[in-house]
Structure formats: C-alpha cells, structure tokens
Structure 1
Amino acid sequence: MDAPRRTRNGPRRSEAARVAVLRAADDLLVDSGFQAVTVGSIAERAGVSKQTIYRWWRSKIDILLDVLEEDLPDDVTSRPPGTESAQEVLTGHVTHLNRVFTRSDTGRVLFVLIGHALQDATTASALRNQVLDRRRGHARARLRNALACDAPGALPRQEADRLLDLLAGPVFHRAFMTGRPTDPLFAERLAATVLTCRQGTPLDGAPAAGPTL
C-alpha cells in the first residue's frame, strides 16, 4: 500500500482506500446514473465504511469533484513551448475540449457537476477553483506563447481568456445540445474564426486591460 495521503482538511487516509472510493463513485455514475451515486453505495462498492468516507469528504459532490480533478486530462502537447502556431494551438484546444465533452466518462462527471453547480453556488465555486481554473491556466499559457511567436507583443491575460471563451462555447453547445462530436474541419474553422476576430482589436472593441502575467 502506498504511503497515506493527507487531505486538504487534515486527516490522514489510505491511498488505496482513496482510489477505491473515487473509482467506485466514477463506476456508479457511469453504470447507473447520478441518482444511484450515494455515500452508502460508494462505500459498499469501495469496501469502506460510510464513516470513513465522511471523515474525508462532506458529500458525494465532493467525491465527484475529486474524481474529476484526478481524471480530467490536461491539454498537453509533445511539442516544445513556443514552437506551435496560434492556429495549431487553438485547433488542438478545440479537439481536446471535444474529447472531454463527448468521448470519455470524465465528460459525464463534468456535465453532472455543471448541472449541480447551476443550482448550488458552493459547488460552482469549488468546480472552478479546484478543477477548472488550473487547466484554463495551462491553456492560456500555451495560447499566449503561440501568439507571441506569431506576432510581436504580449497577449494580455484578459484577451487570452476571451479567446478561450470563444473556443469553448461552440464546442460545449455542440456536445450538449446535439450530442455530436466536432470534426477536424469544424475545429480548424473555429480556430481560424477566433483568430480572425482577434486581429486588429481586442474582442470587446475596447482597449485590453488587466494583468499581463
């Protein structure tokens, strides 16, 4: 058994038991849907007590947040930073989002948490702060590096975030509203359209402001 892991709240826990709980929650969600995911059903499938789970997590939502944090793939590339064009980076990001939304069990966990977040501000905050912001930071850094190679001058953080928003919206809409994945041509054209919007002026028509890390 691996060394015990200390959680954010302090208690020490067995790594093997932690992994069993996360896998049990993920499997139950995929096999039986959100309503079947309860602390009791997770405990039974993982082979631990409910009391043990409640020492580490406050609810099944907290467990699913940890499932998502662990399983959500990073938007990574094997190419060295600064060697990809902006078109390549944006197209790759669209392809990555499509993979998450439509081709993985992780996408199901994400959609369940998004649905719950719409009704619960605490879940919404935890989803952003615990999981999504870090991955958005990776995507932002890749985009800013790529645009710095394509054109002189640093891309302000605020404008990079607008570009990422323009990419994510259509992919999410297509996956959620139609259930259809994006194809390579869709990804390429979306990336090209967003880059065209960016040329010349900031996306909101006003001078870009905010920190430029």
Structure 2
Amino acid sequence: MITSPSSLRRSERSRRAILRASLDLCTERGYGRVTVEAIAARAGVSKKTIYRWWPSKGAVLLEAFADVLVDATPFVDTGDIGADLRAHVAGAVRVLSVPPFGPAYAGILSELHHDDTLARAVREQLVDPRVEEAVGRLRGAQDQGQIPPGANLPLAVEMLYGPVYYRHVLGKPVQDEETVAALVDHVLRALRAPGY
C-alpha cells in the first residue's frame, strides 16, 4: 500500500526546495535581482508558503547561507588551538569566496542596514550563536593552558572574524592559506601578550 508523505515531510521538502531555489537564483541573477516571486516559481510553491516561514527574501537567503556556513566551519578541538582556528577560518573564507554563498551574504549584509527584522535575524540566527561557539572553543583552549586566563575571548573572536568580513564586504581578494595562518598567529600572540 502506498501512503502519502506526511505534511511535515512535505514541509521539509518545500523548505529545502525554497532554500535551493533562492541560492540558484542568487547565482544566476545576483542578490539584488532575486525576488520572492521568482523563488516561489523556481521552488514550485506559492508566495504564501514562503511568507508563512520567512518575512523576506533576505531571511530565506540567510537561512540557506547559515546552513552551509555552520556545516563548513565546525569548531573542532584537536588539542591545538592554532590548527583548529586556522581550519575554521579557512572554512569561512572558502564559503564566502564562492557563489552563491559569498554574494548572498554580501547582499544580506547590505540589506540589514535598512531592514531591522533582518538585522535582528542575522544577529540571533547566525552571529550570536557562532560567536558563542567560538568563545567556547577559545575557553576550552584556555582551560588547556593554551590561552592565558583573563584573556578577552569575545574580543579575540572579533579580531579573528573582522578581517575576513572586512575583505568580503569590500570585495577585496580572499585570504589565502598563508594569510589565514598569519591572522590566527597574530590573534593568538595578542592574547598571550603581557597584560592579558
């Protein structure tokens, strides 16, 4: 006997189709030319379905981008904080350097300046959880004696991510492996400097 899929499965299938469609359209047209209407048509769903789950095209693309970024940049603990941070930052650079993810995130970042709902979503769904995870990984290194007690871990996270996003937003060439290694080494040296 053949049974129809549950509404939950249909919803997940639709969600994935919408996220894929938004990324495909961003690659083909650029962030600015993507519309909710076009996403709905490509995904084979109604606009109402999209608006039931997301308030805007930026929110759709944010979820699609966040899914990929989280998967590509885990916070692993091999016992070597330098190696772990180099791998993590290099993963972020790779995601930001390829369409559709880089252009999608650049579009989201430009739009959040005049969309308070999207700005809040970026902070709550992406930035704050990632910062919390990064601080947690640094705290683990601190507990292992690799980073001195009293080091400002949230500031260290900003120092790590700041150059990556600065280059991305300004359209500068992405960091290569050597530049990422130099960035991580510089931040770790700063954390170990006298006064921390």
Same fold (TM over 0.5): yes
TM-score when scaled to structure 1?
Answer: 0.77
Using the TM superposition, give the Cα deviation of residue 18 of structure 1 relative to its aligned residue in structure 2, in angstroms: 1.5
Deviations 1:50-101 (A, max 9, x none): 2232233222222222222322234226x6x3x4223223322321221122
Contact 2:93-2:174 at 8 Å conserved across structures: yes
Deviations 1:110-129 (A, max 9, x none): 21111111222221111110
Contact 1:87-1:195 at 8 Å conserved across structures: yes
Mark the CA change 1:86 to 1:116 in structure 2 (over 3 Å): closer, same or farther.
Answer: same
Using the TM superposition, give the Cα deviation of residue 178 of structure 1 relative to its aligned residue in structure 2, in angstroms: 4.8
Which residue of 12, 15, 19 corresponds with 1:15? 12
Contact 2:138-2:147 at 8 Å conserved across structures: no
- Find the counterpart in structure 2 of residue 196 from structure 1: 189
Q: After TM superposition, list the pairs within 5 Å mapping 1:26-175 onto structure 2.
A: 26-74=23-71, 75-76=73-74, 81=77, 83-151=78-146, 154=149, 159-175=152-168
Structure 1: 5+ residue stretches without partners: 6-11, 203-213
Identity %: 34
Contact 1:102-1:181 at 8 Å conserved across structures: yes
Contact 2:167-2:174 at 8 Å conserved across structures: yes
Higher share of residues assigned helix? 2
TM-score when scaled to structure 2?
Answer: 0.83
d(CA) in 2 for partners of 1:180, 1:193:
20
Which amino acid in structure 2 is aligned with residue 195 of structure 1?
L
Using the TM superposition, give the Cα deviation of residue 102 of structure 1 relative to its aligned residue in structure 2, in angstroms: 1.2
d(CA) in 2 for partners of 1:34, 1:178:
15
Mark the CA change 1:115 to 1:139 in structure 2 (over 3 Å): closer, same or farther.
Answer: same
Which amino acid in structure 2 is aligned with residue 50 of structure 1?
K
Which amino acid in structure 1 is aligned with residue 50 of structure 2?
I
Contact 2:31-2:103 at 8 Å conserved across structures: no
Which residue of 187, 191, 194 corresponds with 2:180? 187
- Computed over aligned residues only, the root mean square deviation of the Cα atoms, in angstroms, reads 2.5
Which secondary structure does the structure 2 equivalent of 1:150 belong to? Answer: coil
Deviations 1:123-149 (A, max 9, x none): 111111012222222222222212322
Structure 2: 5+ residue stretches without partners: none
Number of paired residues? 191
Contact 1:171-1:182 at 8 Å conserved across structures: yes
Mark the CA change 1:55 to 1:143 in structure 2 (over 3 Å): closer, same or farther.
Answer: same
Using the TM superposition, give the Cα deviation of residue 13 of structure 1 relative to its aligned residue in structure 2, in angstroms: 6.3
